[in-house]
Amino acid sequence: MRPVEVGHRGGERAPRSTRLLGRHELPIACEADIVLVRRKARSLAQAYGFDAFATAAITTAASELARNCWVHGGGGAAVVEELYDGTRHGLAMEFRDTGPGIGDVEWALAGGHSTTRSLGLGLSGSRRLVDEFALETARGEGTTVRIVKWKRF
């Protein structure tokens, strides 16, 4: 099946060569791992001097996407990257699972929709909290969500 992709926001930025300063792979294999991913996002954001709002944003998005990876995707991994684009530091986080995939991406991203009687705000809320958001999913193959948050000057 053809993967469904949702592209980046903020595509108006001129392409730059981004340097990778660090990379961390964290398993999402049990509920407690969600907390570890959340902590990693927060500690890196603080270490790079993200302001309180940006730190809360990346921490919340990381937590929601790790939770989706576990609850809906049956687990997988989070890959955290420390980025520098020549001007700004950024944090990228990718959440991968090999679960059932998302059948209707538009529906899932619209907000307020859930297949588990939850609020259905994790995916749409996370998208609003970050600078870049890319989702790739294929039925029966899994889901990958990549987010980037850049530090403001």
Q: Which spans of this chain sit near Mg ion (rule: CB under 5 A)? A: 68, 122
Nearer to Mg ion, 77 or 109 (CB): 109
In contact, 107 and 60? CB cutoff 8 Å: no
Minimum Å distance from CB 125 to Mg ion?
Answer: 9
Report the alpha-carbon angle 35-37-43, nearest 5. 100
Name residues contacting ligand ATP, limited to 106-135 (CB under 6 A): 108, 113-116, 118-124
Minimum Å distance from CB 36 to ligand ATP?
Answer: 18
Nearer to ligand ATP, 17 or 116 (CB): 116
Nearer to Mg ion, 18 or 124 (CB): 124
Minimum Å distance from CB 83 to Mg ion?
Answer: 25
Q: Does 98 bind ligand ATP (CB under 6 A)?
A: no
Q: In whole angstroms, what is the distance from residue 91 CA to residue 146 CA?
A: 11
Minimal CB distance residue for ligand ATP: 122
In contact, 136 and 97? CB cutoff 8 Å: no
Comparing CA positions, the residue from 88, 87, 113, 90 lying closest to residue 102 is 113
Comparing CA positions, the residue from 7, 16, 32 lying closest to residue 150 is 16
